[in-house]
């Protein structure tokens, strides 16, 4: 059952409905789920098909993605399900928006994932105006989070998520959890219309510290949520100490939220690398 002190929403990060079923049994609740092309490519049905030498057509790949999302949505009917557009370095905002509009029609509780790049932000700005719900993914800096805030200004709370990827920052020696704290602190100056979704969670300590600092949402893979249940679903208090080890701290920057989103320095190499990885994993399904 949901712990009484838990204010953060808990999402599963995965592309297999069987994991969704199992986590709901273990936790006794689940607030939503995040998906992406890499997670869909790891779905057991997909792996079995590819191992048999049978690739998808583009149409079949999107059809499978839709059926998977619909199955997950049926298990969490009131929970947000994030669905990611295909976006490589050459994908235009217009094409992302076209995909996003189609995906948004798949289920009633969709959040469409756009990359936190110039074209992704351009697509998100229009998507919000069109009444869509968005999740800006592959965020690695305060400047990117500020641009998300600016591009989606006027949206209602609950309609916009920003997903800082902490594990990938850890991988290169930076303390990704500092970015969560910094964005939450920066957003205190705003109207709270963007919710912070802690993503790329690799271990139980990531989850616990995100709960402590008050992340609006945490999405975590099956193994981390399972470990959390095995520990009794703890919700850490003020005495909880996160040990970043030898990771380099990420200092807070006093970034204003009032600028036009195009005025922020949003480039981050990890965003580019993430887009390349997601598109390559999606391309691997198609033949």
Tell me the per-residue pLDDT of 65-88, one tens digit each, with 9 for 90 and over.
999 999 999 999 999 999 999 999
Confidence of residue 243 (pLDDT cuts 50, 70, 90): confident
Query: Which are the catalytic amino acids?
Result: 113
d(CA 41, CA 80): 21
On the question of pLDDT at 281 being above 90, the answer is yes
Instruction: Return the structure tokens found at 146.
Output: 């500020």
**117-173: per-residue pLDDT in tens?**
999 999 999 999 999 999 999 999 999 999 999 999 999 999 999 999 999 999 999
- Tell me phi and psi for residue 7, to 5 degrees: -105, -25
Mean pLDDT of 199-222: 98
Q: Report the mean per-residue pLDDT for the chain.
A: 97
- What's the pTM? 0.97
Bridge partners (DSSP) listed for residue 80? 32
Q: Cβ atoms within 10 A of the Cβ of 280, count?
A: 13
d(CA 96, CA 31): 26
- Please report the domains of the chain, with CATH numbers, ordered by start residue: 9-283 (3.20.20.70)
Determine the pLDDT at residue 1: 86
**160-206: per-residue pLDDT in tens?**
999 999 999 999 999 999 999 999 999 999 999 999 999 999 999 99
- The torsion angle over the Cα atoms of residues 46, 51, 53 and 54, rounded to 10 degrees, is -10
On the question of pLDDT at 20 being above 90, the answer is yes
Determine the pLDDT at residue 105: 98
SS3 state at 7: coil
Confidence of residue 244 (pLDDT cuts 50, 70, 90): confident
Pairing of strands 110-115, 134-139: parallel
- DSSP 8-state secondary structure symbol assigned to residue 286: B
On the question of pLDDT at 253 being above 90, the answer is yes
Determine the pLDDT at residue 266: 97
d(CA 234, CA 17): 25
């Amino acid at each position: 059952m949901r712990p009484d002190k838990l204010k953060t929403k808990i999402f599963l990060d995965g592309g297999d409905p069987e994991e969704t079923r199992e986590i709901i049994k273990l936790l006794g609740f689940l607030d939503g789920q995040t998906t992406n092309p890499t997670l869909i490519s790891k779905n057991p049905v997909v792996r079995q098909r590819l191992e048999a030498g049978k690739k998808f057509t583009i149409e079949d790949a999107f059809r499978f993605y839709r059926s998977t999302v619909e199955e997950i949505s049926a298990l969490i009917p009131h929970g947000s399900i994030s669905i990611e557009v295909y976006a490589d370095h050459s994908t235009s905002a217009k094409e992302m928006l076209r995909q996003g509009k189609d995906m948004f029609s798949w289920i009633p509780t969709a959040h469409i994932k756009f990359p936190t790049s110039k074209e992704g932000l351009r697509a998100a700005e229009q998507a919000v105006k069109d009444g869509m719900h968005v999740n800006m993914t592959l965020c690695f800096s305060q400047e990117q989070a500020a641009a998300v805030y600016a591009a989606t200004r006027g949206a209602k709370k609950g309609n916009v998520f920003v997903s800082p990827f902490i594990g990938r920052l850890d991988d290169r020696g930076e303390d990704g959890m500092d970015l969560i704290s910094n964005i939450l602190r920066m957003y205190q100056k705003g109207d709270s219309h963007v919710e912070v979704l802690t993503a790329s969670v690799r271990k139980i300590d990531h989850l616990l510290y995100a709960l402590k600092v008050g992340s609006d949402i945490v999405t975590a893979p099956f193994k981390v949520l399972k470990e959390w249940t095995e520990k009794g679903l703890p919700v850490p208090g003020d005495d909880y100490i996160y040990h970043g080890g030898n990771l380099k701290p990420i200092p807070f920057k006093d970034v204003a939220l009032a600028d036009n989103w195009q005025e922020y320095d949003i480039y981050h190499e990890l965003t580019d690398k993430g887009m390349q990885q997601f598109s390559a994993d999606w391309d691997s399904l198609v033949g």
